[in-house]
C-alpha cells in the first residue's frame, strides 16, 4: 500500500518549516523532505549571524531562529525525512511521485517546492590555488565569531551577509576590511550606514587579485592583493583570516529530471502567480525559489509564501475548503494546555 500524503514539502528551511506548521493547522497529512541531515536550510550555514527580518522576534542568531522554526514545524507531527535528495518528479495516477537519489519514492497529492537557492554550495573564490587555504584561514562562512577576536579579517562581498559580518566582527577583531567589486553596497541601509561610520576599512571598487601565502606556512594566507576595478591599481592588505561572501551556486537537478513539465525562469526560479501557484496544477512554491513581480526575498516573505502555498494546496485537494485559514490571536484553552510550549516560544 502506498502512503500518499496530502502535501509533500521539498526543503526544510524557513519556507518549508512554516509550510509544515501551517499545513498542520489546515489538517493536511504532511511530509517534509530535506537534503541535508538537519533542518534549517541556509540558516545553518551561519548559525551565529544575526537575523533581523522576522516580525515579532528581536534580532537574534540564526541558530536560535532555527530552534523556534523547528519547534513550531513539529507541533502537528509531520513526517520528516532528512538526508534525502529529490532528483525527479513524475505523475502516477492522480498523485505525484518524488524519487530520491537513492531510489526511494514518495507519493503526494500536492507538492510545495521550498528549496531556496538549491543545495547550499557557497560560490568559491575564482583564484588559482585558493583551495589550498580552505583548511586554514580562507572561510566561506563564520561558524564561531569569537574565534576571530583580535584577528585581522578581510571580508569579500557587498550584500547583506558581508555587511552584517563586518559590523558583527568590527568590535572584536583587531582590524576588519571589506572589499567589494562595485561602488555601492547592497545591504540594508541601516547596516550600511553603521558600517560606513565604523572603523571598518571599506575598499569599494576592488576585487581580490591574489592570495599571498606566509613564508613560513604555505597553507596560510598572509596578505591579500586587491585590484582597483576602474584603474587597475594594486594594494596589499595583511590578514589573519579571509571570509568570502559571494553568494551560493544554484543546483537544478530536480528541474532537469521531471516529466510533469515544471520549468524555470532565469535558469533557476519557479515562476508563480502571486498566490504561489506554479504552472503545474498541484505544485506550489514558497521561499527564495519563487519568482513573481511582488516576491519579497526575505524570511518574512517566505512565511507569506508558505501560507499562500498551503492554502492553495488545501483547495486543490478540497475545492470546498475555506480559501484561507484563520488563526486567533489568543486562545485561553490552548495556552493552558500547552504551558511549556508557550513558555518556550515567548520566554527566552
Q: Which residues line the annotated binding site?
A: 34, 42, 46, 86, 120, 288, 329
**Dist CA 65 CA 222 (whole Å):** 36
Cβ count near 188 (within 10 Å) = 16
SS (H, E, C) the chain: CCCEEEEEEECCCHHHHHHHHHHHHCCCCEEEEECCCCCCHHHHHCCCCEECCCCCCCCEEHHHHHHHHHHHHCCCCCEEEECCCEEEEEEECCEEEEEECCCCEEEEEEEEECCCCCCCEECCCCCCCHHHHCCCCEECCCCCHHHHCCCEEEEECCCHHHHHHHHHHCCCCCEEEEEECCCCCCCCHHHHHHHHCCCCEEEECEEEEEEEECCCCCCCEEEEEEEECCCCCEEEEECCEEEECCCEECCCHHHHCECCCCCCECCCEEECCCCCECCCCCEEECCCCEECCCCCCCHHHHHHHHHHHHHHHHHHHCCCCCCCCCCCCCCHHHHHHCHHHHHHHHCC
Inter-CA distances, 111 with 68, 127, 184, 241, 327, Å: 24, 40, 39, 43, 23
Binding residues for FAD: 34, 42, 46, 86, 120, 288, 329
Nearest by Cα to 299 from 10, 37, 68 = 68
Amino acid at each position: 500500500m502506498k502512503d500518499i500524503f496530502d502535501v509533500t514539502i521539498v526543503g526544510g528551511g524557513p519556507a518549508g518549516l512554516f509550510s509544515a506548521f501551517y499545513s498542520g493547522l489546515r489538517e493536511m497529512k504532511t511530509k517534509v523532505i530535506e537534503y541535508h541531515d538537519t533542518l534549517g536550510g541556509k540558516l545553518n550555514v551561519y548559525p551565529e549571524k544575526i537575523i533581523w527580518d522576522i516580525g515579532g522576534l528581536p534580532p537574534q542568531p540564526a541558530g536560535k531562529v532555527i530552534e523556534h522554526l523547528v519547534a513550531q514545524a513539529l507541533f502537528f507531527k509531520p513526517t520528516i525525512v532528512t538526508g534525502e535528495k529529490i532528483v525527479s518528479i513524475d505523475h502516477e495516477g492522480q498523485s505525484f511521485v518524488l524519487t530520491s537519489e537513492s531510489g526511494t519514492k514518495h507519493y503526494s497529492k500536492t507538492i510545495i517546492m521550498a528549496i531556496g537557492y538549491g543545495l547550499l554550495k557557497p560560490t568559491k573564490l575564482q583564484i588559482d590555488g585558493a583551495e589550498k587555504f580552505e583548511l586554514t584561514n580562507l572561510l566561506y562562512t563564520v561558524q564561531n565569531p569569537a574565534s576571530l577576536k583580535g584577528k585581522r579579517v578581510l571580508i569579500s562581498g557587498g550584500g547583506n551577509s558581508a555587511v552584517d559580518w563586518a559590523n558583527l566582527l568590527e568590535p572584536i577583531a583587531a582590524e576588519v576590511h571589506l572589499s567589494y567589486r562595485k561602488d555601492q553596497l547592497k545591504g540594508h541601509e541601516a547596516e550600511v550606514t553603521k558600517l560606513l561610520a565604523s572603523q571598518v576599512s571599506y575598499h569599494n571598487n576592488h576585487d581580490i587579485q591574489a592570495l599571498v601565502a606566509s613564508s613560513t606556512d604555505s597553507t596560510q594566507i598572509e596578505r591579500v592583493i586587491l585590484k582597483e576595478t576602474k584603474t587597475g591599481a594594486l594594494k596589499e592588505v595583511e590578514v589573519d583570516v579571509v571570509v568570502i561572501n559571494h553568494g551560493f551556486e544554484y543546483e537544478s537537478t530536480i528541474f532537469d529530471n521531471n516529466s510533469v513539465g515544471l520549468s524555470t525562469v532565469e535558469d533557476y526560479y519557479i515562476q508563480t502567480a502571486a498566490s504561489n501557484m506554479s504552472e503545474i496544477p498541484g505544485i506550489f512554491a514558497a521561499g527564495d525559489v519563487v519568482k513573481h513581480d511582488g516576491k519579497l526575498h526575505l524570511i518574512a516573505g517566505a512565511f507569506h509564501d508558505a501560507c499562500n502555498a498551503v492554502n492553495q494546496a488545501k483547495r486543490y485537494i478540497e475545492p470546498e475548503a475555506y480559501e484561507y485559514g484563520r488563526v486567533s490571536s489568543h486562545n485561553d484553552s490552548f495556552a493552558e494546555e500547552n504551558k511549556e510550549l508557550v513558555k518556550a516560544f515567548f520566554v527566552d
